[in-house]
Structure 1
Amino acid sequence: MHADLWTFSLNTYAKPGVEDACLALQAQGANVCLLLCAAWLGRRGVRCEAERSRQLQALAEPWHEQVVQPLRQLRLQWRTAASQDVGLKVLRDQVKALELAAEQQLLQRLEALGRDWPEVGAEDLDPWLEAVTAQVAGLNRDALRQLRVAVSQA
Structure 2
Amino acid sequence: MAIWEWALGAYARPDVSEACLALQDDHGQNVSLLLWAVWAETSDARLLASAAQTARAWEARVLAPIREIRRRLKPSFPPIDERAREGLREDIKDAELRAERVLLETFEQMTERPGGTPALEALRAASRAWGKPASDDALARLARALS
Determine if contact 1:82/1:89 at 8 Å carries over to the other structure: no
- 1:62 is aligned to 57
Match of 1:91 among 84, 88, 100: 88
Determine if contact 1:41/1:125 at 8 Å carries over to the other structure: no
Is 1:128 aligned with 2:122? yes
Q: Deviations over 1:81-132 (max 9, x none)?
A: 2697221111111111100011011111110111xx2345x43433321122
- 1:29 is aligned to 28
Matched to 1:103, the amino acid is: E
The secondary structure found in structure 1 opposite 2:75 is helix
What are structure 2's unaligned runs of at least 5 residues? none
Determine if contact 2:124/2:139 at 8 Å carries over to the other structure: no
In 1, the alpha carbon distance for the partners of 2:77 and 2:8 equals 27
Give the alignment of 1:36-47 within 5 angstroms: 36-42=35-41, 46=42
- 2:3 is aligned to 5
What are structure 1's unaligned runs of at least 5 residues? none
Is 1:104 aligned with 2:101? yes
The structural deviation recorded for 1:149 is 1.4
In 2, the alpha carbon distance for the partners of 1:103 and 1:14 equals 16
The structural deviation recorded for 1:22 is 0.4
The secondary structure found in structure 1 opposite 2:13 is coil
Is 1:118 aligned with 2:113? yes
Q: Percent identity?
A: 31
- Residues 127 and 31 (structure 1), Cα distance of their counterparts in 2 relative to 1, 3 Å cut: same
Aligned residues: 142
Aligned residues: CA RMSD: 1.9
Is 1:50 aligned with 2:45? yes
